[in-house]
Structure 1
């Protein structure tokens, strides 16, 4: 569990990062991530129009923006900010339903989703155990969790700690 003050500082840092780039961000990187995801799940599962997908910590648009599903949902603690940026709005997939929420409190009923995306989220969370319990709660039996983490080297972690001070 991280200190709540550290979480608030990290959230503000994240918001400022996006704010300084909001007019020049192109969602091409999300498209690349979506292509990587689809390739990595071949032979395990498929994403179809009727696949119920949830992206946790979607950021400005999310991987879900570029997946072929008519049942796509995403949430992020900074969603109100992202929704206010015209450049982000015009690049988002309008079929995706975005919400403001934290991963520790997923705002959906039990066993709702076939596929959950959790990409570079856990290091932004306050209570990782709670996040996993929540993902398990909303994932259908035999559903798929796609989890990716960014791991810092010693020097990367040190620089990150200095930036957050």
Structure 2
């Protein structure tokens, strides 16, 4: 029996107790306990997100076969996405700058019983040969790298011709991002000049010297231009991918944060029209959208 068959995608306490304990051990040194819970959940949810990416690719790129595919996750965090792909038969590699994440990722893979090649490094200098991968994942990472153009060119280099890039970034000026910053849950942060963002987070809110690591978040038109310049063609409309993600996300209201969000998820999740009506799809995109891309490497 495989790990995938006997483990919940969202409650992994039965299979990765040592990993979860290692993650919780970071709480004491965190700048804010409530924000730590948000940070921790992002890592824990990587595993479920990996299966979501697999299923999304099967829906929108039916020619892509997960089993046997070479998959690279850049900024792989604690390797949860890669573990999900490995449990579906992919050969997986990840690169991450944070050594603690690499340690937790290796522990997590061991507990799940899969092999994942995890390496330390940066997106601008990938330690793999040309045309090594069928799929590269860049999930909420581009806004953290030093050189975005070089990162996309490196991704193109390690992808096989026709290979896929699955990329997600926050959408900086959606209504929700203005109210609740996508990285630190701080209202209005994305509107501030970068120097003020750093000062506000590190000094005023007590984040600590040198802890703010978010660059200027690119808009969707900017991302489209960057992808074209790097030699990629967009395979699926970004709005379609976002609405698909949103519908999938609220299909399980019990997993949404309690309060108004959960109530709204329960209401909209049981109805089709909010996701089929063009005006509603536009509203979802403008109000709370993220930038989702599936792009193909040009020959």
Structure 2 stretches lacking a partner, 5+ long: 1-24, 30-36, 179-187, 204-299
CA deviation vs aligned residue, 1:111-157 (integer Å, no higher than 9, x gap) = 00001100000111000000001000000011111001123434142
Q: Does 2:31 correspond to 1:31?
A: no
Report the Cα offset of residue 28 of structure 1: 4.3
Q: How many residues align?
A: 145
- 1:35 Cα deviation (Å)? 2.6
Q: TM-score, normalised by structure 2?
A: 0.43
Indicate the structure (1 or 2) with the bigger Cα radius of gyration: 2
Q: 1:104 maps to which residue? A: 124
Unpaired runs of 5+ residues, structure 1, are: 1-17
1:82 and 2:98 are equivalent in the alignment: no
TM-score by length of 1: 0.74
**Contact map agreement 1:61 1:91 (CA 8 A) in 2:** yes
Q: Please provide the CA RMSD for this pair.
A: 2.8
> For 1:84 and 1:91, how far apart are their aligned partners in 2?
9
Contact 1:70-1:95 at 8 Å conserved across structures:
no
Contact 1:73 1:97 in 2 (8 A): yes
Between the two structures, name the one with larger relative contact order (CA 8 Å, sep ≥ 6). Answer: 1
Q: Aligned residue for 1:58?
A: 76
**2:48–2:84 contact (8 Å) kept in structure 1:** no
- The alpha carbon displacement at 1:89 in A equals 4.0
Shift of 1:37: 1.1
1:74 deviates by 0.3
Which one has the bigger strand percentage?
Answer: 1
Cα pair distance change 1:35/1:89, threshold 3 Å: same
Q: For the residues of structure 2 that align with 1:102 and 1:54, how far apart are their CA atoms?
A: 13
Seen in structure 2, the aligned counterparts of structure 1 residues 140 and 130 have a Cα distance that, compared at 3 Å, is same
1:9-60: CA deviation from partner (whole Å, max 9, x where unpaired): xxxxxxxxx93389x9575411221132123212414343310000000012
